[in-house]
Amino acid sequence: MTAGAFAERFLHYLRYTRGLELADAGPADHVAALALAVREALVDRAVASRKAWTEFQAKTVHYLSMEYLLGRLLINNLIATGLLEPAREAMQSLGLNLDTIADEEIDPGLGNGGLGRLAACFLDSLATLNYPAYGYGLRYEYGMFRQELRDGWQVERPDRWLKGGYAWEIQRPDLTVPVKVGGRVEWRQGRHGKNRPVWVDWRVLYGVPHDVLIAGYGTPNVSVLRLWAAEAPREFDFQIFSQGDFLRAVAERERTEAITRVLYPADYVAAGRRLRLLQEYLLVAASVHDVVSRFRLRYGEAWELFPTKVAFQLNDTHPALTIVELMRFFLDDAELRWAQAWDLTRASCSYTNHTLLPEALETWPVALMESVIPRHVQIIYEINRRMLDEVGSANPRDLDRLERLSLVHEDGEKRFRMANLAIAGSHRINGVAKLHTELLRTRVARDFAELWPERFVAITNGITPRRWLLSCNPRLADLVTSRIGEGWERDLDRLSELAHLADEAEFQQRFMAVKRENKGDLVESIRTLCGIAVDPGSMFDVQIKRLHEYKRQLLNAMHIIALYRRIKDDPSRAVTPRTFIFGAKAAPSYHMAKLVIRLINGIAAIVNSDPDVGGRLKVAFLPDYRVTLAEQIIPAADLSEQISTAGWEASGTGNMKLALNGALTIGTLDGANIEIRDAVGEDNIFIFGLTAEQGAVLTISGHYDPWSYYRADPELAAIIDTLRKGTFTPGDESASHEIWSVLMEHGDRYLHLADFRSYVEAQSRVGALYPDQRAWAAKAIRNVAAMGWFSSDRAIRRYVEEIWHLDQVKIGAGEA
């Protein structure tokens, strides 16, 4: 397509969707018209994709996730469709600037963190690799809150991301599906004289699909992300209106439609609230209905084919009710017998675990579930009874084991254990890194792994190189292409061809020049966002991820305090200038996480303005961390902080994004860090701290005593003392004191003191290396060269081989 044709299309959409001529249009109009102009190409591709998938009767994967963090789509979609240059020229010819417009696009924050971003990377890879795929999720009206900082404290503001309309979504009212809730189960005589359970007195609500098309790169194949919005039924209104109870009718509608009003802004802690259960159930029931309807259109009632045509992937336990809803459908609607229903269900479902944190494992009170989905409760009990019968008859005496396997937690208020349900109803269960899968097998799901070892697989996470290099770091992407040619975007292993350039002086210089320019851009953003002036020549030391105690932003803060104290001790000592960059949202109810934000901002205020420091250390906490901000920070990072307590970070994916963009990692032997070390080699990464095994031994033995580290290490003791006194949170001393108390009076669950010395030593090695820019560049280049394996294309191929068994589909119409 020519720039001229693109410009015309753009003007067309300005005029006929916004009612505007160019002269009267504002930034929001520009974004919308541009999106619609590109969307045309996506729709053509989606139509062709659907046709091909149907024609080949291809097995399709359905990725079910409560969260998707798509990020902005304009530049990505322009790149994927080959329209970037025409669009750039077109905008220029109209006196506009593409990048300025692109900067106005909102970032749909329909997720919390890693799990949601992984889902988005996977849809990109599925499309790019020509697999037929649907993502299913919820269209929250309010996404992740906007984070502001006031006096160093996090303040949450609502994210009304839909207020100006969202040009990428296509509402599909024609595909609205009914979802039943409430009521009770009665036993009635069925057609064959047998007593059968009948779900009665339910009320209905509707799921209205909104599709977002996810373009494959260099192929016409498109993934469909279908997001459900809750809608109250119209019939219901008439009934109540006619009884004159107008107010009640409106209030009831309101309550129903509130189901998809807001994303739960907390991860690593299960909410246990009715609204959340309704959200999870809506996602599951609407999606299963949709998938089953499509199956029926193509294959009628040939249910025996179901697992050969349909795969459901459960993104953590949040959609685990899929298993129960499928059972309900096969038993009650398709009238299959239990054994067949169960075989079909298990053969089509599989479950990915994303965390081992006990407080993040979902359990639902049976009583609550009964009031929302009484028929499902019966089915879960029956699944449990049959499973325990089977296990118990083989092993009658091991009652403890039966208790651990049970889907029902019986002690106190009865609760369903969703992880047990997800495992029992899946033919494959996967962890998201090697270590994580091992810990899943041997700790959290040990009894299940002993029963069904062949069902557990390790599939290490990956990231899409299209967003996380090609589009977010065009300078580095161009440099890479200039040396190894195009094609790495779809075959990231080709980055290994850069390895031999690691010691080439000219390439090193170019590589560092790119990094320097990216840092220059970030310097500007930091000035605008935080009002802090930072030196682009300093080392950019970056920790960006959700704020959680196990991720140990606090350990990072303790290191900054160490460096600051050393300077105060001897202002003339030589230090490697560093800029510490943080981005992190705390769950609104996570008190300790909010205290850590306050502490980091307190350190920033003191360190940044101390004349003794003389600008050699700067601390910047960038507000409102989200995909868009990640895309600005990552290309500019020198050092990647991956310092979780070993055994707790399932995988991490920021670690991969930063290494791919040429940052060196300082990290523990946790999650995918271990595999990153194996890939880049020990000399090209800074590893420190206790292993998961050592940490577990220390914790479980009950011998861990933070005070023993305090007494043995005067520098550490002095830092801990500053926390007790509130040195770095003047005016809010108690905030810092509470942090101190969690470490020193409540056992330091995440082993900050145990790992402190080892961390500081590793940081000294980092600080010593950085001034040798050639040596640094060589290691950074080796990191980039070794990151090919961490492409989400590799991860998706593994899911296909190990779990889904899909065939690639060639799309007929539309240009590649």
Closer of 613 and 674 to ligand 26W (Cβ): 674
Q: Does residue 642 touch ligand 26W according to CB under 6 A?
A: no
State the minimum distance, in angstroms, from the CB of residue 763 to ligand 26W. Answer: 23
Contact 724, 716 (CB under 8 A): no
CA–CA distance, 210 with 228 (Å, rounded to integer): 6
Residue from 22, 155, 360, 769 touching ligand 26W (CB under 6 A): that is 360
Buried/exposed 384-406: b ≥16 CB within 10 Å, e otherwise: beebbeebeeeeeeeeebbeebb
247-286 footprint of ligand 26W as x/- string (CB under 6 A): --------------------xxxx----------------
Q: Does residue 626 touch ligand 26W according to CB under 6 A?
A: no
103-132 footprint of ligand 26W as x/- string (CB under 6 A): ---------xxxx--x--------------
Closer of 71 and 652 to ligand 26W (Cβ): 652
158-197 footprint of ligand 26W as x/- string (CB under 6 A): ----------------------------------------
CA–CA distance, 468 with 660 (Å, rounded to integer): 8
Contact 455, 349 (CB under 8 A): no
Stretch that binds ligand 26W, among 52-60, 576-584, 644-652, 781-789 (CB under 6 A): 644-652
State the minimum distance, in angstroms, from the CB of residue 581 to ligand 26W. Answer: 20
CA–CA distance, 635 with 472 (Å, rounded to integer): 7
Cα 295 off chain centre by? 29
User: Which is the catalytic residue, given 510, 546, 616, 779?
Assistant: 546
Closer of 585 and 618 to ligand 26W (Cβ): 585
Q: Of 176, 178, 175, 198, which is closest to residue 186 (Cα–Cα)?
A: 198
CA–CA distance, 87 with 534 (Å, rounded to integer): 34
Q: Does residue 432 touch ligand 26W according to CB under 6 A?
A: yes
Q: How many helices (H) and strands (E) does the chain have?
A: 33, 25
CA–CA distance, 366 with 417 (Å, rounded to integer): 10
- 60-64 and 133-138 beta bridge pairing: parallel
Q: Is 568 a catalytic residue?
A: no
Residue from 146, 354, 466, 490 touching ligand 26W (CB under 6 A): that is 354
Residue from 362, 489, 631, 675 touching ligand 26W (CB under 6 A): that is 362
Q: Does residue 736 touch ligand 26W according to CB under 6 A?
A: no
Q: Does residue 325 touch ligand 26W according to CB under 6 A?
A: no
Q: Does residue 211 touch ligand 26W according to CB under 6 A?
A: no
Q: Does residue 653 touch ligand 26W according to CB under 6 A?
A: yes
Interacting positions 303-322 with ligand 26W (CB under 6 A): 316
Q: Which residue has the tokens 């047998």?
A: 194
Q: Does residue 675 touch ligand 26W according to CB under 6 A?
A: no
Q: Of 73, 72, 75, which is closest to residue 99 (Cα–Cα)?
A: 75
How many binding residues for ligand 26W (CB under 6 A)?
A: 22
Residue from 81, 355, 673, 736 touching ligand 26W (CB under 6 A): that is 355
Q: Is 309 a catalytic residue?
A: no
User: Which is the catalytic residue, given 309, 467, 657, 782?
Assistant: 657
Residue from 650, 685, 778, 806 touching ligand 26W (CB under 6 A): that is 650
Closer of 423 and 432 to ligand 26W (Cβ): 432
Closer of 25 and 440 to ligand 26W (Cβ): 440
Closer of 507 and 582 to ligand 26W (Cβ): 582
Q: Is 446 a catalytic residue?
A: no
User: Which is the catalytic residue, given 81, 576, 653, 729?
Assistant: 653
Closer of 118 and 291 to ligand 26W (Cβ): 118
In the sheet that 539-544 helps form, which strands lie side by side, from edge to edge?
617-621, 578-583, 539-544, 639-642, 664-667, 686-687
The set of residues, in sequence order, having a beta carbon less than 8 Å from that of 14 and lying 6+ positions away, is 20, 21, 22, 25, 29, 30, 33
Q: Is 54 a catalytic residue?
A: no
Q: Of 7, 159, 155, which is closest to residue 69 (Cα–Cα)?
A: 159
Using CB atoms, what's the residue nearest to ligand 26W?
A: 114
State the minimum distance, in angstroms, from the CB of residue 355 to ligand 26W. Answer: 4
Q: Which two tokens stand for residue 470?
A: 């090609």
CA–CA distance, 499 with 791 (Å, rounded to integer): 17
3-state SS, residue 747: coil
Q: CA dist 338 to 329, 375, 380, Å? A: 11, 15, 12
Q: Does residue 63 touch ligand 26W according to CB under 6 A?
A: no
Closer of 147 and 355 to ligand 26W (Cβ): 355
Helix (H) or strand (E) holding 110: strand 109-110
Closer of 462 and 662 to ligand 26W (Cβ): 462
DSSP-derived letter for residue 42 is H
Stretch that binds ligand 26W, among 72-80, 363-371, 603-611, 645-653 (CB under 6 A): 645-653
State the minimum distance, in angstroms, from the CB of residue 657 to ligand 26W. Answer: 11
Closer of 37 and 679 to ligand 26W (Cβ): 679
Q: Does residue 783 touch ligand 26W according to CB under 6 A?
A: no
CA–CA distance, 512 with 777 (Å, rounded to integer): 7
Largest CA distance in the chain: 92
Residues pairing with 349 in the sheet: 312
User: Which is the catalytic residue, given 30, 276, 354, 510?
Assistant: 354
Closer of 121 and 600 to ligand 26W (Cβ): 121
State the minimum distance, in angstroms, from the CB of residue 273 to ligand 26W. Answer: 10
State the minimum distance, in angstroms, from the CB of residue 546 to ligand 26W. Answer: 7
Closer of 310 and 656 to ligand 26W (Cβ): 656
CA–CA distance, 717 with 723 (Å, rounded to integer): 10
Closer of 644 and 661 to ligand 26W (Cβ): 644
Cα 715 off chain centre by? 37
Q: Does residue 659 touch ligand 26W according to CB under 6 A?
A: no
Q: Is 546 a catalytic residue?
A: yes
Stretch that binds ligand 26W, among 74-82, 230-238, 352-360, 565-573 (CB under 6 A): 352-360
Contact 480, 498 (CB under 8 A): yes
State the minimum distance, in angstroms, from the CB of residue 257 to ligand 26W. Answer: 23
Q: Of 335, 282, 291, which is closest to residue 313 (Cα–Cα)?
A: 291
Interacting positions 518-577 with ligand 26W (CB under 6 A): none
CA–CA distance, 531 with 93 (Å, rounded to integer): 35
Q: What is the DSSP string of 358-413?
A: GGGS-EEEHHHHHHH-HHHHHHHHHHHHHHHHHHHHHSTT-HHHHHHH-SEE-SSS
State the minimum distance, in angstroms, from the CB of residue 69 to ligand 26W. Answer: 10
Residues pairing with 214 in the sheet: 223
Residue from 374, 671, 726, 788 touching ligand 26W (CB under 6 A): that is 671
462-491 footprint of ligand 26W as x/- string (CB under 6 A): ------------------------------
The set of residues, in sequence order, having a beta carbon less than 8 Å from that of 59 and lying 6+ positions away, is 132, 308, 309, 310, 311, 804, 805, 806, 807
User: Which is the catalytic residue, given 417, 551, 598, 626?
Assistant: 551
Q: Is 354 a catalytic residue?
A: yes
Helices 714-725 and 733-744 pack at an angle, to 10 degrees, of: 130
Site residues (vs ligand 26W, CB under 6 A): 112-115, 118, 267-270, 316, 354-355, 360, 362, 432, 461, 649-653, 671
- Catalytic machinery residues: 354, 545-546, 551, 653, 657
